[in-house]
Every structure is written in structure tokens, then in C-alpha cells.
């Protein structure tokens, strides 16, 4: 991938932390924000997707392929994955991205409502995230309208099937032993939220919907001293009115500049009290609506978020972009992922499957 600056007359107004940026052909800034140096090559990038609960696989494959052209170091999903089978559609696309360079890409999920069951993260997501064991569809046994079907399961693990990231490896809400509460009409039984930092960016992964307990947790984190330059919040539910409650009365006391959401299946861009709220359209509707995916570019002294769009009714190969939609100045560093924590050898059994399938993997 060649990174370049093209000084041509293509101009786009880009929403930034507190400024407007002139963008050039290819989505790269021809003129950086005041006070920022111009960096021809980014330090690293992260790919972002949302709402992939569809069997319109061509749209997912096309956008995932375009993101991979940017050679991201990290993949982030903003919820509603439809990750039942690692060799089908959305999960296959993500797993293919993770396995492009074994051990080189990490994956983070801000769970959506469809990723939860009875107040806990679905078992197959926890199995893949913490154990690196992925369910494969061995053939249909039942199929219904849309993306609902049952299939004969097979399971795979090993060096080519990675644990997602260091932060969830021992996280209580992501472990296999977590039990749901049925029925569950309130907040999560076992919260999945966590914080991670890469390159002087603090990412806060939230549970899918607003609740007072999460509000207290988030406000405590963002008002404590921290060495990050910018904080980005990942929160599946998109209601800006509720999201803004997390930050009520805290102006000037935190460094949150961007909140990324999904859930609504429509693109939205709102700025309030110095924070930009962006809702990704996601890929749930295939040709029925606009579909999109994002890349976060990290430069030495600014961030830029680009959007790639397949317009409603267009061919999945007809990707428009990159369209710069947000920029923010700061002081950022190279990508460094912490090592995975050591874990005890574990026997894993999927109790939800008729056949008992056992694995042993040393951590």
C-alpha cells in the first residue's frame, strides 16, 4: 500500500475535534490542521466494522477486503456480529483477516444486543475469544428465512486460530464458566466492558446499552489521570441522547473525543460538547441500504477516520471512498500489543452441542 499526498483541488470538509480540515484526493490531508506536522505515512491503522448480521456475504467480503488493503494492525467490531460459524459469511471474513498474518492482528468486540444471550456474551464468542476454538459449519441440518439456520458443528483450534486479544483472555465476563440468567430483562449479568490502550489512544469497550452502572464506571475511568492523548469509546447502542449522559457535567475533565456506535443500520454524525458521535451504517441490509466500514489512521500528531461506502442498490464491488469523516490532533505512538497473559491448561467442552467435543490447549 503506497501512502501519498496529492495536492489537487478535491476538497472535503472533515469534522475534527475542534477544527475543520481540508482533504485531498485519496482521503489524505493536503493541508494538515494548524499546528500539526504532515506525515506522509501513518504509524498504523485499525479496521472497524459493525452490524454484520446478514447472509449478504458479498457485501461483507467486499468491505473486509477493502479494509485489508490498508494493512491494519487491529480489527474492531462495534457489535451484532452474527459469528455463529467461522467458515460462514461475517465470521469467515473476520477470521480470514485475523489469519492473514498469524499473531499479527488482534480483534476487539464491543458486543451488540444480538451478541448476548440471557445477560451474558454468547458461548461461541467466548470460546473463540479466550480459547481460540472456532466452530465450523459442517453442513446445514435446518435452514429458515434470512440468516437463521442450524448446522452440524465441527471445531478447530491451534496456532492459526487466534485468541482475540490480551484484555479479554482472563476477563471474568468473557470466560466459559459464566452463566446467564433466564429470562434476563435488565443489564448484563456479567459485564463485558474493558479498557485497552494502543499507541497513546485509550479505547473503552462498553456493554451494548446505556445503564447507570456503566455510566458510573465510565465516568470514574475518564476523570482519572491518564497518559493517553485521546480516548475513543466503543458502544453498540447509538442513541446520542443517552450516550451524552455518560459525559454530563464533565466538560474539560476528560479526553474523550469520539464515540463509535452501530445498531441503527444508518450512518449518523453528531457533535455535542466537544465529542463527535458517529454511528456506522454497518452491513446488515446488504443492497437494501447504504453499507459501510471504517479505517482509523494513526499519525504522529493526528488521527483520521475514513469511511468506505457501498451505496444502496449498488454492486458490492462499487465501494466509494475513502471519505474522511473525522480528524483529531494529539500525540500518538507506534502500535504495540501487550503479550497474552499466561493461563493454565484447560479442557474445553461445548455443553450446548449434542456430541461432547474436548480440547486441550496450553496457555
3-state helix/strand/coil string of 144-174: CCCCCEEEEEEEECCCCCCCCCHHHHCCHHH
pLDDT at 187: 67
The C-alpha atoms of residue 73 and residue 47 are separated, in whole angstroms, by: 8
Task: Please determine, for residue 2, whether its predicted confidence score (pLDDT) is greater than 70.
Answer: no
329 DSSP β-pair partners = 302
Task: Please determine, for residue 22, whether its predicted confidence score (pLDDT) is greater than 50.
Answer: no
Task: Please determine, for residue 206, whether its predicted confidence score (pLDDT) is greater than 60.
Answer: yes
User: Which tens digits make up the pLDDT trace of 42-92?
Assistant: 999 999 999 998 878 899 999 999 999 999 999 999 999 988 766 677 778
Cell of 280: 456506522
User: Mean pLDDT score of the chain, rounded to an integer?
Assistant: 81
pLDDT at 132: 87
pLDDT at 113: 93
CB 124 within 8 A of CB 111: no
150 confidence band (pLDDT: 50, 70, 90): low
350 confidence band (pLDDT: 50, 70, 90): very low
Task: Please determine, for residue 274, whether its predicted confidence score (pLDDT) is greater than 70.
Answer: yes
pLDDT at 162: 81
203 DSSP β-pair partners = 196, 232
At which residue does the C-alpha cell 458502544 appear?
235
What's the mean pLDDT in 274-284? 96
pLDDT at 25: 31
The C-alpha atoms of residue 85 and residue 92 are separated, in whole angstroms, by: 7
pLDDT at 103: 60
Q: How does DSSP classify residue 200?
A: T
Q: How many helices (H) and strands (E) does the chain have?
A: 6, 21
Cβ-Cβ contacts under 8 Å for 78 (sequence gap 6 or more): 48, 49, 50, 51, 110, 112, 234, 235, 236, 260, 261, 262, 280, 282
pLDDT at 340: 86
Task: Please determine, for residue 11, whether its predicted confidence score (pLDDT) is greater than 50.
Answer: no
**Beta carbons within 10 angstroms of residue 125's beta carbon:** 23
What's the mean pLDDT in 118-134? 91
The C-alpha atoms of residue 175 and residue 129 are separated, in whole angstroms, by: 9
User: Which tens digits make up the pLDDT trace of 300-329?
Assistant: 999 999 999 999 999 999 999 999 999 999
CA angle 42, 46, 49 (to 5 degrees): 145
Task: Select the more confidently predicted residue: 360 or 261.
Answer: 261
pLDDT at 1: 40
Amino acid at each position: 500500500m503506497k501512502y501519498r499526498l496529492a495536492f489537487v483541488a478535491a476538497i472535503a470538509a472533515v469534522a475534527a475535534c475542534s477544527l475543520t480540515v481540508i482533504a485531498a484526493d485519496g482521503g489524505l490531508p493536503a493541508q494538515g490542521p494548524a499546528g500539526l506536522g504532515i506525515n506522509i505515512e501513518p504509524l498504523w491503522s485499525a479496521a472497524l466494522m459493525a452490524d454484520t448480521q446478514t447472509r449478504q456475504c458479498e457485501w461483507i467480503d467486499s468491505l473486509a477486503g477493502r479494509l485489508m488493503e490498508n494493512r491494519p494492525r487491529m480489527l474492531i467490531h462495534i457489535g451484532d456480529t452474527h459469528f455463529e460459524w467461522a467458515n460462514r459469511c461475517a465470521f469467515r471474513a473476520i477470521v480470514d483477516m485475523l489469519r492473514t498474518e498469524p499473531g499479527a492482528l488482534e480483534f476487539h468486540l464491543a458486543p451488540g444486543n444480538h451478541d448476548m444471550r440471557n445477560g451474558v456474551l454468547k458461548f461461541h464468542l467466548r470460546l473463540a475469544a479466550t480459547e481460540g476454538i472456532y466452530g465450523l459449519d459442517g453442513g446445514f441440518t435446518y435452514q429458515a428465512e434470512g440468516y437463521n439456520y442450524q448446522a452440524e458443528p465441527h471445531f478447530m483450534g491451534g496456532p492459526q486460530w487466534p485468541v482475540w486479544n490480551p484484555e479479554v483472555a482472563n476477563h471474568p465476563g468473557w470466560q466459559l464458566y459464566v452463566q446467564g440468567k433466564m429470562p434476563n430483562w435488565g443489564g448484563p449479568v456479567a459485564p463485558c466492558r474493558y479498557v485497552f490502550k494502543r499507541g497513546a489512544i485509550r479505547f473503552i469497550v462498553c456493554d451494548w446499552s446505556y445503564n447507570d452502572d456503566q455510566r458510573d464506571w465510565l465516568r470514574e475511568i475518564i476523570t482519572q489521570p491518564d497518559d493517553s492523548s485521546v480516548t475513543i469509546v466503543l458502544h453498540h447502542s447509538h442513541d446520542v441522547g443517552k450516550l451524552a449522559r455518560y459525559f454530563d457535567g464533565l466538560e474539560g475533565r476528560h479526553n474523550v473525543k469520539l464515540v463509535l456506535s452501530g445498531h441503527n443500520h444508518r450512518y449518523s454524525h453528531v457533535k455535542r460538547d466537544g465529542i463527535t458521535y458517529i454511528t456506522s451504517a454497518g452491513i446488515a441490509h446488504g443492497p437494501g441500504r447504504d453499507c459501510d466500514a471504517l479505517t482509523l489512521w494513526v499519525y504522529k500528531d493526528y488521527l483520521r477516520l475514513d469511511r468506505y461506502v457501498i451505496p444502496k442498490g449498488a454492486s458490492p464491488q462499487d465501494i466509494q471512498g475513502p471519505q474522511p469523516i473525522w480528524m483529531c490532533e494529539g500525540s500518538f505512538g507506534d502500535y504495540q500489543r501487550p503479550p497474552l497473559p499466561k493461563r493454565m491448561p484447560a479442557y474445553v467442552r461445548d455443553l450446548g452441542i449434542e456430541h461432547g467435543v474436548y480440547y486441550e490447549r496450553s496457555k
